[in-house]
Amino acid sequence: MDIVAYLRMLRRHWKIIMAAIAIGAILGAASTLATKHSSPATRTYYKATHTLFLDTSSIGDSFRPAYTNLDQIAVLATTGDVPKQVAAKLGGDVTDWANRIFTVTNGSTNTLDITCAEPAADDAVKCSDTFAQELIASLEQREQARFNDQRDETIRRLDQIQTQINDLDAQIAARPANLDLLLAQRNSVVNQYRLSYEKFQQLAAQGGPASILSTLQSAEAQPITKAEYDYRISAGQLGENRQRADSGQTQVAVPDGGSSTARFSGPVSRGILGGLLGMMIGIGLAVVADRVDRRLRTREEVEAAFGLPVLAEIPTLSAKQQRHPGILSSSAPLSRTAEAYRAVRSSLMFQLATSTHHTTDGAFVVLVGSAGPKEGKTTTSANLATMFAETGQRVLVVNCDFRRPTLHQFFDLPNEPRRVFETTTPGLWVVTDVTAGPSGANPAFVV
């Protein structure tokens, strides 16, 4: 089936489609009332941001921290020991707490924002502050452990060098032949001892690692929409809850508008959506109805079903034309209907010219019939007879409808059985009724 056939099919079943659209639109608009009565009141969610400041100005030369990059520190906030410590303090699942925070680093201001989203304002503040505190504590523990390891390593190094010096002194005291070489080695080892001792003194003077991460602003709760809350939680679940807001970059905007469901919460929008869904359902029903319908509608279908050629196609009469019978071949000679009957007349005359089957007196008989009532037999007979008379031929129209004879109405004639009437059309005569009895009699007993 080509596109034209589909369009014709949709036109035939347009009532089904329009009904489905109307029902869909009404149900869509009415669903807003059910939503208003069934859905709970809009809930408010909160977020709280704790801002940390990274200060690297106090870092000494003797001991440099391992974590001086904001992006690395942000990773520690969402993974590792920090979420575990938060879960231990506040209770709950470690992964769930890690999904609730959102970190934003700014290299221009050396700040790290830790934002936590919660249904309650107090919980959001507590979550954000706890993550910031545990992050600072975790960094301090890591750096303290590194400082202790470096200090202990320096002490062990001093002990090793002192042992080497003692061994060299013992050898020098014996005045061996390679005394000069031993003295040179001792001077080199003493220099190593001096450098290590200076490093140890610097570490001792520093007293411990410098704290480079501090609170710039504690958390304060702010109301947010459910859309933003859902966005932050889903971003944490996908591992996309770490962002940068440097001066040369644009921070990814967190949506603060309504969700897709909210956009279709009004009666108009839901009515439109329901109408679209109804249209799709209506088209599907139209296709099903067309498949179930076994009537012959096209020239190709008729020719394939009967194995006979179609001479012409007569346009369907309008409701007004069906209520008021008339001969369109005369009243509208230039209409499509008149041309269609002319095509039938020409085809029949061609068949007459090429056929050997005709009456002995040269008369050409055309029988018009159909399988059921009100299918256009009388209309076709009247118009076709007028078209034959139009060519100058003498035509006699005989009404053989024994049940509902209406041929006289087309020519505005009385219905008198077995009488020949002359019409206003030159060369055209009509027998309005061939029965001798009343109309509607049993055709088997018509005399």
Q: List the domains of the chain with CATH numbers.
A: 3-40+261-292 (no CATH), 45-258 (no CATH), 299-436 (3.40.50.300)
3-state secondary structure the chain: CCHHHHHHHHHHCHHHHHHHHHHHHHHHHHHHHHHHHHCCCCCCEEEEEEEEEECCCCCCCCCCCCCCCHHHHHHHHHCCHHHHHHHHHHCCCHHHHHHCEEEEEECCCCEEEEEEEECCHHHHHHHHHHHHHHHHHHHHHHHHHHHHHHHHHHHHHHHHHHHHHHHHHHHHHCCCCCHHHHHHHHHHHHHHHHHHHHHHHHHHHHCCCCCCEEEEECCCEEEECHHHHHHHHHHHHCCCCEEECCCCCCCCCCCCCCCHHHHCCCHHHHHHHHHHHHHHHHHHHHHHHHHHCCCCCCHHHHHHHHCCCCCCCCCCCCHHHHHCCCCHHHHCCCCHHHHHHHHHHHHHHHHHHHCCCCCCCCCCCCCCCCCCCCCCHHHHHHHHHHHHHHCCCCEEEECCCCCCCCHHHHHCCCCCCCCEEECCCCCEEEECCCCCCCCCCCHHHCC
Q: What is the CA radius of gyration of the chain?
A: 51
Using a pLDDT cut of 90, give the percent of the chain over it: 15
Give me the pLDDT at residue 175, please: 85
Mean per-residue pLDDT for 7-24? 88
pLDDT at residue 210 above 60?
Answer: yes
pLDDT interval class at 153 (50, 70, 90)? confident
pLDDT interval class at 263 (50, 70, 90)? low
pLDDT in tens, 53-81: 888 776 655 566 777 788 888 888 888 88
pLDDT interval class at 265 (50, 70, 90)? low
Mean per-residue pLDDT of the chain:
82
Give me the pLDDT at residue 359, please: 55
pLDDT interval class at 223 (50, 70, 90)? very high
pLDDT in tens, 298-345: 778 888 888 888 877 887 777 777 777 778 777 777 788 888 888 888
pLDDT at residue 38 above 70?
Answer: no
Mean per-residue pLDDT for 194-210? 77
Mean per-residue pLDDT for 288-306? 81
pLDDT at residue 258 above 60?
Answer: no
* Alpha-carbon torsion angle 200, 205, 207, 213, nearest 10: -110
Give me the pLDDT at residue 12, please: 83
Burial-class residue 86 by CB neighbours within 10 Å (0-12, 13-18, 19+): buried
Give me the pLDDT at residue 431, please: 92
Strands 428-431 and 395-398 turn out to be parallel
Give me the pLDDT at residue 18, please: 93
pLDDT at residue 255 above 60?
Answer: no
pLDDT in tens, 156-175: 988 998 998 899 888 888 88
Give me the pLDDT at residue 250, please: 45
- In sequence order, the 6+-apart residues with CB closer than 8 A to the CB of 104 are 112, 113, 115, 243, 244, 245, 251
Give me the pLDDT at residue 49, please: 92
Using a pLDDT cut of 70, give the percent of the chain over it: 86
